[in-house]
């Protein structure tokens, strides 16, 4: 009977090594080791042996069983590492692209606007929105730009009627807000603005974020502090910032804020016109005349205001070199962001 056991083992091992699939191995395992398997059958006959032969036969049988189990598991490993085998036979190809839902994109202007507003929201600036078609008073006159003021030449205006314009800047939000609310206040106003200009660097419609902070102790230092903080949050804490005197009728002193060129790091390149600096926003301390126009007492409150072009900041962030791309709504563009 021992010989019978050894023959069985040899036969089983040969069949296992010939097996070409997991299924076949499965069948072999059942055939030999299963509850009604051949090896199990032999073992059941142990009782027919003389008592003195039983321990040796038992030992041998256990050894055969172990050997067989080992051979089966090695064969299984062999089959799966030989690869593809199992998976491809189930119709699964892991190298196929995954099945995924489409993801749309927010327009880069919306993304940039969110980024900017988030910074100011964290500093407690409330978001307000005001009309895009605006009265001359809000767009110009209350902002210290009386009729016939040369500063009106700085912005070519679309007129609806003599007294109604497409706002040339979001600064009108300053007046609309201050007329309604008492100081102190902190606001930002995102939105569209319009100027009668169309070339490689101007589109007749564009987006701005206006900001205004008014209070009792708001000095030049706070004004610089908030804007430097903003720049560092958007462009990184290492970016140099400079304040360059400029002129806006509704601020005094006024400044353009420049950042060190993000492309050439200040060495001078085409993007910064070889100056090493990029203009990113206009700003200044609120002109006392503006306070008078909204009924604030310029002897009691001071404040600062700023306005930035969203397109400008988007272009710098992503290295976009053509402003007009923003309004072509070309999906090959929008889907990049």
Q: Tokens representing 58? A: 């038992």
Contact flag: residue 235 with another protein (CB under 8 A): no
Residues in 260-299 that interact with another protein by CB under 8 A: 273, 275, 285, 287-288
Q: How far is the CB of 244 from another protein (least distance, A)?
A: 6
CA 185/CA 126 separation, integer angstroms: 8
CB 314 within 8 A of CB 109: yes
Smallest distance from the beta carbon of 85 to another protein, in angstroms? 22
Report how many residues bind another protein under the rule CB under 8 A. Answer: 86
Nearer to another protein, 56 or 106 (CB): 106
Going by DSSP bridges, is the β-strand pair 251-260/241-248 parallel, antiparallel, or unpaired?
antiparallel
Within 8 A by CB and 6+ apart from 111, the residues are 314, 337
Q: Mask 293-322, x = binds another protein (CB under 8 A)?
A: ---------x--------------------
| Distance between CA atoms of residues 269 and 187, nearest Å | 35
Please, what is the minimum distance in Å from the beta carbon of residue 334 to another protein? 5
Query: At its nearest, how many Å lie between another protein and the CB of residue 174?
Result: 17
Site string for another protein, 147-186 (x = CB under 8 A): -xxxx-xx---xxxx-xx-x-----------------x-x
Residue 68's closest CA among 42, 33, 23?
33
Q: Which is nearer to another protein, 64 or 188 (CB)?
A: 188
- Token pair belonging to 4: 């019978």
Binding residue (CB under 8 A) for another protein from 33, 60, 115, 205: 205
Output the smallest distance, CB 207 to another protein, in A. 8
- Is residue 200 close enough to count as binding another protein by CB under 8 A? no
Per the structure block, which two tokens stand in for 95?
Answer: 């190298």
CA 21 to CA 130: how far, in whole Å? 72
Q: Give me the least distance between CB of 319 and another protein, in Å please.
A: 20
Please state, in angstroms and as integers, the Cα–Cα distance from residue 231 to each residue in 122, 142, 196, 198, 274, following that order: 14, 29, 29, 28, 21
Cβ contacts of residue 98 below 8 Å, gap of 6+? none
Number of H helices, E strands in the chain: 13, 10
Report if residue 35 touches another protein, rule: CB under 8 A: no
The smaller minimum CB distance to another protein, of residues 72 and 185, is found at 185
Q: Which of 6, 56, 92, 133 binds another protein (CB under 8 A)?
A: 133
Shortest Å distance, C-beta 188 to another protein: 11
What is the Cα–Cα distance from 337 to 334, expressed in whole angstroms?
6
Distance CA 166, CA 140 (A): 11
Which residues are CB-neighbours of 306 under 8 A, at least 6 positions away? 210, 211, 227, 257, 281, 282, 283, 284
**27, 46, 86, 110: residue in contact with another protein (rule CB under 8 A):** 110
Shortest distance in whole angstroms from residue 109 CB to another protein = 6
Q: Which residue from 54, 242, 265, 324 is in contact with another protein, where contact means CB under 8 A?
A: 242
Q: Does 129 bind another protein (CB under 8 A)?
A: yes
């Amino acid at each position: 009977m021992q010989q019978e056991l050894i023959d069985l083992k040899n036969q089983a091992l040969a069949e296992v090594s010939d097996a070409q699939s997991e299924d076949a191995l499965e069948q072999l395992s059942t055939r030999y080791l299963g509850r009604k398997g051949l090896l199990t059958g032999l073992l059941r006959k142990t009782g027919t042996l003389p008592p003195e032969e039983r321990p040796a036969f038992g030992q041998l049988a256990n050894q055969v069983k172990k050997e067989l189990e080992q051979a089966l598991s090695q064969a299984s490993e062999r089959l799966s590492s030989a690869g593809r085998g199992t998976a491809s036979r189930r119709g699964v190809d892991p190298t196929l692209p995954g099945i995924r839902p489409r993801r749309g994109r927010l327009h880069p202007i919306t993304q940039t606007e969110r980024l900017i507003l988030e910074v100011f929201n964290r500093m407690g600036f409330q978001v307000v929105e005001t009309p895009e078609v605006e009265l001359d008073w809000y767009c110009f006159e209350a902002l210290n730009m009386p009729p016939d003021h040369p500063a009106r030449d700085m912005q070519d205006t679309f007129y609806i009627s003599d007294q109604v314009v497409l706002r040339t800047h979001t600064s009108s939000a300053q007046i609309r807000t201050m007329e309604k609310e008492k100081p102190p206040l902190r606001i930002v106003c995102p939105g569209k603005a319009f100027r009668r200009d169309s070339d490689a660097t101007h589109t007749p419609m564009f987006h701005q974020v206006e900001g205004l902070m008014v209070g009792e102790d708001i000095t030049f230092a706070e004004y610089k502090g908030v804007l430097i903080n903003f720049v560092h949050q958007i462009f990184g804490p290492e970016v140099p910032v400079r304040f360059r005197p400029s002129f806006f009728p509704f601020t005094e002193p006024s400044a353009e804020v420049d950042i060190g060129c993000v492309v050439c790091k200040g060495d001078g390149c085409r993007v910064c016109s070889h100056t090493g600096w990029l203009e990113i926003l206009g700003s200044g301390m609120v002109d006392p005349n503006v306070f008078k126009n909204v009924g604030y007492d310029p002897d009691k409150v001071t404040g600062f205001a700023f306005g930035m072009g969203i397109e400008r900041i988007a272009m710098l962030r992503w290295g976009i070199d053509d402003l007009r791309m923003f309004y072509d709504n070309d999906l090959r563009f929008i889907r990049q962001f």
